Each structure stands twice: as C-alpha cells, then as structure tokens.
Amino acid sequence: MAFDGIVTRAAVHELASLVTGRITKVYQPTDTEIVMQIRARNGNTRLLLSASHSFPRLHITKKEYQNPLEPPMFCMLLRKYCEGAIIESITQAGMERIIHIDIKSRDELGDDRRKRLVLEIMGRHSNLILLDPETGLIHDGLHHVTPAISQHRVVLPGRPYVAPPPQDKINPLTADYNDFIRLIDLNQGKISRQIVASFAGISPLVADEIVYRAGLSTREALWKAFNTIMGPVKNNKYVPNIQFGDKTAFSVIQLTQFTSGTNEVFGTVSECLEAFYHGKAQRDAVKQKLHDLIRFVSNERNKNAKKIEKLKLTLEEAEDAKRFQQFGELITANIYQLERGQTEANVLNYYKEDAPIVSIPLDPALTPSENAQAYFKKYTKAKNSVAIVGDQIEHARKEIAYFDTILQQIEGAGLQDIEEIREELIEQGYIRARHAKNNRKAKPKAPVIAQYTSSEGIPIYVGKNNRQNDYLTSKVAGSEDTWLHTKDIPGSHVVIKSASYGEATLHEAAQLAAYFSKGRESSQVPVDYTLVRHVKKPKGAKPGFVIYEQQKTLFVTPDESVIRNLADK
C-alpha cells in the first residue's frame, strides 16, 4: 500500500470537481469514517474521509454504508457546521498527506461562516479535525489527543490547531538536477531509502520504481527516471493502477517493477482506491470489533469460571457445618471447666464411640459461652449457604454456557452479525450502550437469515447468532418444519423449511448444524433434530436458548466443501 503524497495530490486534483458543491448530508458509519453527500456539478456524489489507523484515505465512493441508529457526537457536530455548506476549496499541504477542505455557510444571523476540515493521513496517527480557520481553534477531532499522549499536538475542543511537524524534505516537483545529485550518494546505502529520506511525498514503492526504471545505478540514470516519473505528476497526469500478485499494491504512476502478477488500470483515482480498499477496511473493522468482543466475552466467561472455584471452596467450608455444631455443643457440655483466655479446649468427643480427646480452637478474648455461640453462628451460616451457593454455581455455569455460545457465534461473524451480538449483550445488561437512547425507541429490523439449498432443492435456514436463532425458530419456521441443533454443543439453529424432504436434505442440514457450531473441527458430531412444534423457549430464558423433546440424533463430520455446494445452489 502506498497512500503517499503523490496519491494525495492526485486525489485532491480529482476532487476539484466537488468545489462549489453543497454538502447535503453527513454520516458516520464507523468510528473512523465520515461520508458526505455532496451535490456538485456532476450530480450527487459521496465523499469518504477515513481517519482509520489501518486504512486512512480520501476518495469518492459508490459503496453503500450502513449507518448507526444514533449518530455519534462528532457526526452531530459536522452536521451542525457542514450540512448546507458550500465547498470553497480542497487543497493539499505541500506534498504531505494532509488535506484541507474549506467550507462556507451562513450562521443564524445570516452572516458568512467559514470552517476547515483537516484530514491527516498519517497511519496510526491519522485524524479528521474540524476547526475555525480564522482563530485556528479546534471545534473537535475524530480522535482526541490529550496532553498525556502528546505535549506538542493536543487535539481537543477549544485548543489551537498545530500542524504536524515538517519533515524538512525537498518538494520533488520543484527539485532540479543539482538538488538530486547533491542528495543522492551511490556510496551511502540503499538508493531507494535515500530518495524516500530526501524528497517529500515519495513512498518506498515509488522510490523502488525509480530505481527499477533507472536500470544501471548511475546518478544520471536515476535523475532521468526520477524526472520521467515526476513530470506527469507536475502536470496532474496520472495512471491509477493496482498490481495484483504476490504483492498487491496501488499507485497513480504506472508500476513496471513487478515481473509477475497482473496490473489493472482504472479511469479515476477514486475507482482505483475503492477497488483496492474494497473489503480491506471492512475486514479491518470486523477484526477490531471481533477482538474487542472476544476479549470482553472471554473475560466475562473467565470471571464466572473463577467465581465457581471460589463458590466450591465456600461449599467445602459449608460441608464442615456439622463439625461447627459439634464444637459448640462440646464447649457447652464442658463449659464448667473452661474459662476466658484459653486458646483451645481439650475435651472428650462423645460423638465418637471411643470418645477420643478433641482439641477445639478458642478465641481467648471471648468467654466459653461466647465461643460456643460463635461456633453455632458458623454452623447456621454454613448450613444456610449450601443452598445459596448451589444456586450461584448453577447460575455461573449457565453464564459460562451462554458466553461459550457467544464465542462460537463470533467465529466467522460479519460486521452485521457482530453488531447484532453487541446489541444483544447491551439488551442483556452486559455492555453499556455508547450513547443515551432517545425516548422514542427505533423499531429493530428483522434479522437477515442465511439461506442454503439442499441437493433436493429444499431451503435450509441457519441462524448465525442468538437474535437470528430466536427469529428463525419463532418467526420463520413453521410447526411442521424440522429443527436441528448440535447435541450439548454451542451452535446455530438450523431449520429445514419443508414438511417433506429426503435423507440427503436431512444429512446436509445436519452438516450445516455441525459446521456452524463449536464442533466444526471435530468428527462424528452429534446433531439432534425434531419438529419445530416440539421446540419451546422457557420464560425468561436467555436469547437463543430453547428446550426440545422427541428428538432423534444423527452423527456427521463437518465438510466445508459440502457447505460451499449448498451455498452455491
């Protein structure tokens, strides 16, 4: 990947068509991306501004984004200042990966109001900042940078905007032969690294292309290759292309250094960037959300496992309740020969046939009677705790089973599946909602259920999370349809949507149930099946939990090729 200063220049040049356009809508589909709907000379256009730490970028997009029901605070701020505003200019700061978008609107009094959006494409330090260009004060940033993180560049509302420190490199578009010869020394290490270190906006990919085109490593040949590449860039003549192969890369100059793979040229920079980043940014978002969810759910599961260990210790102590009672009664029976200050009582244990001497620990600060009462209290507490601790252990085991199910569902989940799982955890009270909800609660959309087709042409539905499982079993499935689930293993609800089918369909549905379960990597996975009318959800049960009866069991070994064939039909 090489979103360098040259690509930034090409993107900004292409976005000149949006100048004088009006921003009509602002959305924030993810934590790091802003999408602006712009009515420009060429019609309505969507502009993507991403401050992702992994894939920061700027380009026109045709992709449809799913927006959250509750817009984040930064999105609300942009709507306040940007919706209805006219884009006055889109410029690049030198050859840096910093873009300024200046906009103009009118305030409540009808006076002109100017704001500036600054997109800084700087890897993990990427940011999108809204500021007042007259005062230089920040309204807010997509990512806050506190003084604890950086004393030099603080990004917080009300603080002055400080541009990233200059790199003190030469602009390659204004460099001449003497500059190049002075900066490049054939005896001072790798040439491509010298080019990157000396000239602004040039990535290692472009530097390697210069060296490759130069062939013989003479400074004159290097200058010729350098000038050949920079000439079209000066005149804003670009060749957006992607190199596919062992190494996939994109650039706005023609890449000739690769000897294998294929190269695809695009009509616009935005089309090239969209094609390159298609799926990558979503996979990155999924990966991050997966990591966060897995960490949270695993922690909750481990908490319950540790809770069970502690409860078992309490239970073991509770099993000594009878001994506490005996100690209290033995102290009472021998109270006449005991006195305050003793640390132990050596008395006959008449609870045993041979009545051996037993040593009972005493608190020297208490009287013999108070020591006896203390043991009776321990006895009562231990006896009463047995039933409570047993209930708590059972509850913790159910929690572990629930979190095991969630962990299984997270494996291979898509972005929408993750959001549904997160919403479920919020509804169950495990996660706090990010933002306060409006009094008017939005009606949740029906989940999309994955559909497969058996070799006999029968539809088979699979729930990929608890919300989908509940909806599939209670709303989609008919009473005479067949319901399947792995036996005693976390997994998906599977429904054969037909009252009549053959053995092939049954085994293929069982394959789906085993594949979308925790037993995916196992062999001979037990799968229960029964009619949907024999499946019930207990009152107050957790999402996805059901009980069923009159089931039969068959054993299958998950085969990914079978699953692919069912999906292709």
The rounded distance, in Å, linking the Cα atoms of 271 and 7 is 13
Its domain, for residue 500, covers 450-568
Q: What ranges in 155-268 are assigned the alpha helix state H?
A: 177-183, 191-198, 204-214, 219-234
Same domain, 61 and 132: yes
Task: Give the residue from 280, 307, 324 where a domain finishes.
Answer: 280
| pLDDT confidence band for 54 (50 / 70 / 90) | confident
| pLDDT confidence band for 378 (50 / 70 / 90) | confident
The helix (run of H) or strand (run of E) holding residue 129 is strand 127-131
Q: Which of 344, 340, 347 is nearest to 369 (CA)?
A: 340
The rounded distance, in Å, linking the Cα atoms of 472 and 447 is 9
Same domain, 555 and 459: yes
pLDDT for the residue 442: 53
pLDDT for the residue 443: 56
Same domain, 297 and 402: yes
| pLDDT confidence band for 436 (50 / 70 / 90) | very low
The rounded distance, in Å, linking the Cα atoms of 60 and 268 is 10
Identify whether 415 is part of a domain: no
Same domain, 305 and 261: no
pLDDT for the residue 64: 83
Identify whether 148 is part of a domain: no
297-326 mean pLDDT? 85
The rounded distance, in Å, linking the Cα atoms of 415 and 412 is 10
Identify whether 421 is part of a domain: no
Same domain, 26 and 116: yes
Full DSSP string of 399-424: HHHHHHHHHHHHTT--HHHHHHHHHH
Strand partners, 38: 23, 45
125-142 mean pLDDT? 95
Identify whether 433 is part of a domain: no
Please report, for the domain that includes residue 343, its CATH number.
1.10.287
Same domain, 19 and 40: yes
456-471 mean pLDDT? 92
Task: Give the residue from 257, 280, 303 where a domain finishes.
Answer: 280
Which structure tokens are listed for 24?
């009509």
Same domain, 396 and 455: no
Same domain, 131 and 11: yes
- pLDDT surpasses 70 at 472: yes
Identify whether 241 is part of a domain: yes
Please report, for the domain that includes residue 111, its CATH number.
2.30.310.10
Residue bearing tokens 């949270």: 296
Question: How do residues 475-493 score in pLDDT, each as one tens digit?
Answer: 999 999 999 999 999 999 9
326-338 mean pLDDT? 91
Q: How many helical (H) and strand (E) elements, i.e. helices and strands, does the chain have?
A: 14, 22
Question: How do residues 259-275 score in pLDDT, each as one tens digit?
Answer: 888 999 999 999 999 98
Task: Give the residue from 242, 259, 280 where a domain finishes.
Answer: 280
Same domain, 131 and 194: no
Q: Tell me which of 307 and 431 has the higher pLDDT.
A: 307
Which structure tokens are listed for 114?
């100017």
Q: Which of 474, 484, 470 is nearest to 423 (CA)?
A: 470
| pLDDT confidence band for 429 (50 / 70 / 90) | confident
Same domain, 533 and 491: yes
pLDDT for the residue 557: 94
**Is residue 106 a contact partner of residue 123, using CB atoms and an 8 Å limit?**
no
Question: How do residues 83-105 score in pLDDT, each as one tens digit?
Answer: 999 999 999 999 999 999 999 99
pLDDT for the residue 293: 84
The helix (run of H) or strand (run of E) holding residue 117 is strand 112-120
Identify whether 34 is part of a domain: yes
CA separation, residue 540 to residues 133, 303, 411, 493, 537 (Å)? 56, 23, 26, 19, 8
Which structure tokens are listed for 23?
């921003």
Identify whether 187 is part of a domain: yes
Which structure tokens are listed for 3?
């979103």
Number of Cα atoms under 13 Å in the Cβ half of residue 228: 16
pTM higher than 0.75? no
425-433 mean pLDDT? 82
Identify whether 428 is part of a domain: no
| pLDDT confidence band for 437 (50 / 70 / 90) | very low
End-to-end CA distance of the chain: 36
The rounded distance, in Å, linking the Cα atoms of 208 and 202 is 10
Full DSSP string of 244-309: ESSS-EEESS-----SSSEEEE-SSHHHHHHHHHTTHHHHHHHHHHHHHHHHHHHHHHHHHHHHHH
User: Can you list the pairs that 326-333 forms with residues at least 24 positions away whose Cβ atoms lie under 8 Å?
Assistant: 326/351, 327/360, 327/372, 327/375, 328/372, 328/373, 328/374, 328/375, 328/376, 328/379, 329/372, 330/358, 330/360, 331/360, 331/362, 331/368, 331/371, 331/372, 331/375, 332/369, 332/372
pLDDT for the residue 283: 63
Q: Which of 3, 266, 203 is nearest to 254 (CA)?
A: 266
- pLDDT surpasses 90 at 154: yes
Of the listed ranges 148-157, 175-184, 336-345, 403-412, the one predicted with least confidence: 403-412
Same domain, 309 and 382: yes
- Total structural domains in the chain? 4
Mean pLDDT of the chain: 89
Same domain, 464 and 510: yes
- pLDDT surpasses 50 at 514: yes
Question: How do residues 183-236 score in pLDDT, each as one tens digit?
Answer: 988 888 789 999 999 999 999 999 999 999 998 678 889 999 999 999 999 999
